[in-house]
A and B are shown apart, each in its own frame.
Chain A
């Protein structure tokens, strides 16, 4: 149980285009989903937290107009990288949590974004 999927697993796009990444909890309802960014040889950095039905809460330094997050249902959250630039190239990982507080987060397999 507690499986989280992400789609696509890999995407290459041209500079200036927008890219949407989906995160789904397959066998549980996720009250909260998280989006992380992982740089090479570095740790995961939390970008934003989204609760179903409400606006995402972004970490300091993350542009909310650039990284649009939608959490329209208890099993789906999307991250849209708008007007992508090469510096947005990274590994984006989502996670989902069934309850509030200290409940465990379950991670998706990640999406490798390359912006040319």
Chain B
């Protein structure tokens, strides 16, 4: 079965520090990869996505992620975080489910706290 692992459950950083959140997936077929963010009290929002092409994907708010096929990874990065980046981050892979439909499989999430 497809699965997504996010190794860091909680990350605490100071403002201006660099961020890298790990994401590894388990799926043998063609994948589409996503990072979603959930700010406190808000709904899930798409940060960025990878479907094909350049494996380095740039998203909103200065985030980027790199798809490394050989490592089954799609790590999220930001060179300098801000207090407003405090949120929970979810990695997800779009894969063919056992129902025959495409479905998103989510990681367990990483809670990021940025201290001012």
Contact = CB atoms under 8 A, between A and B. Distances in A.
- A and B pair up: yes
Contacts of A106: 46
A93 B44 contact: yes
Given A42-B108, A102-B51, A107 B103 contact: no
Contacts of A108: 43
Contacts of A17: none
Interface in B74-116: 90, 94, 97-109
Q: Is the contact region of chain A dominated by helix, strand, or loop, or is it mixed?
A: strand
Contacts of A44: 44, 90, 104, 106
B63 interface: no
A107 B44 contact: yes
B43 A109 contact: yes
A106 B43 CA distance: 10
Interface residues of A, number: 24
B106 A105 contact: no
A77 interface: no
A49 B44 contact: no
B107 to A, nearest CB: 6
Contacts of A107: 36, 43-45
A-B pairs, top 4 by smallest CB distance, nearest first, are: A107-B44, A109-B43, A102-B32, A43-B106
Interface of B: 32, 34, 36, 42-46, 49, 51, 90, 94, 97-109
